[in-house]
Structure 1
């Protein structure tokens, strides 16, 4: 169903309903007042909320139309019609939110918050990454491979920033704004000096136990930072690469500890944290609890200069999920290490990897779940890589882990 046909159908319904409202107004009860009272009972009919002409449609009819639109769309760019419906007015947006399901349930990415929600359990969401060596910018797109008409759906972008003792990958919703003071800031990835250990920071907390603080980052003056933008970073995962001291032959070995995801999430009936919107954190009023120094606060991450606003969340009550790279096998004929990427990786590279769950036998997790590839990343061309992820990782988690593979690691190779 095209967007033009939806608008045409809504116009016809509006004209028919308008004639009914004119007849009903003779009895002293205007249709618009009754409709708005039905949508928002706490608003008096004498003081309606103006949202535009399309806000006056009966919610039952609007619900049916948007549901049909949602069912007819399966991929980008057709998925943008649903987003356009949500942009019409507040009433449309609320109804669209009720219809749209999480990526875990439908396997589709719709709103920006979908990038921080776990992927589907059955089939992975397939994406690809483009690397721009000149600008040190990495772009994550939705889809199997790049299209010829440059209509790829940009999901996330990261900019590599080298520092004296570390490397940062600042992650944003857009590819031209990487400031932490921007509403598009999503999080960052930071490495140690050797490039063997990385920490993933989220711009919003994932646990209710995290305490909000109102101390801004020293990188910005208090007047420069929007009051809606969190000045803190929350540590949600660590990525470690095994040192190759003897320079032995073989691929990289890595391990990821997902502090924000419990190991029970991969068990039957287990769940992973699923945020519902960015606004639940950006709209919160700052806490009035004074914070004097980072060293006096155990939640503060003061390991790096200029980031006094970084927070480390309290450890979850359950054991965190650990991921490890799947061990490749040596192919005698090809004389190289090989993994079964099922056709998604075509170029040999030290960056290629597959991640599976590393669990203790006491957790009683089926062998099939332990062998299931949660994230795979590999090269398909010059500066083009594929990235496929599934539950319990989100697109943000997967992208941050893949970014760690791009950093230079002299101690691991």
Structure 2
């Protein structure tokens, strides 16, 4: 039998296990016959509806977290593009025949992404197996040992749930502190001279994946010039936020007195050698001269800035790339390049969270960025920044934080 002759729709509907297909908006696109039987609902009452409208959390159990954990798992699949196998979950089900009556049920879910041609998740295969009878197993009618086993399993489940809740609360507190620290360290949105500029920072999905990325815009001494930079510190949380603040401040100070961007990165690279946690940190900086209509730039292991010309031509500024800030035991002079621009062009700097995807060559992400900028080049910087984030970041958030700077020249 050839692959073309296989009726995969018939195979899907005949699968013995409960399987549903979800859109990235978590709407049921389809369910197989086993899913209909297992849930006791008609296909028409499921397909086309939002997952948690069909299966809400049990309102009679204030400690119920099944829907929350499932939602977190699905967002993780959308953002990472990887399968997520969940632990056995208790999720009570409202009986269709008796509204307001809930049955205690246990499930083993697996959520698997289906990528589209561009690598983005277009569907989630939500496979779920009911294990209620296993959890509630009794050795025989009225068997006391079976009831003890059930009680022990239930108690262990509650212990794990309470531990997860405490960990989630601790992570949330650290995330709030780290975000507040980063907000205090990063420059606010502002005009650089009379130039229009937009800045964006998007923390990663998850409690600790935050605070490695930074950006900076600074008026340079002498002439009608500005410095625009972005950088990325390896690591997350409060430690990364502290390192980020030190490197950003050092580059700001160095840019004001350096002869060019390469010299500024030389200074910061030497400083990074004595900063714990600065290992493999990257940065790119540009010096924009509005009188000469030139951009001088230098990169320390960072993705290249983009110069979007008024005619739609996209130029990656990649002719002056060097290793990360502290990569060389004996610091040497970094490369520097220059390019020209016409008034009305747009300069875009970003961190790797915007363009990198697992199992995908970075060139694919760079081309995706170039196409987005080309299509929307007539938009003002604020609108353009929002559009780029919307088109390039995964639905529900990314697994790495992202900084973005858009300057109209």
- TM-score, normalised by the number of residues in structure 2: 0.28
Structure number with greater CO (CA < 8 Å, separation at least 6) is 1
Computing the radius of gyration over CA atoms, which structure comes out larger, 1 or 2?
2
- TM-score, normalised by the number of residues in structure 1: 0.28
Higher percent of residues as helix: 2
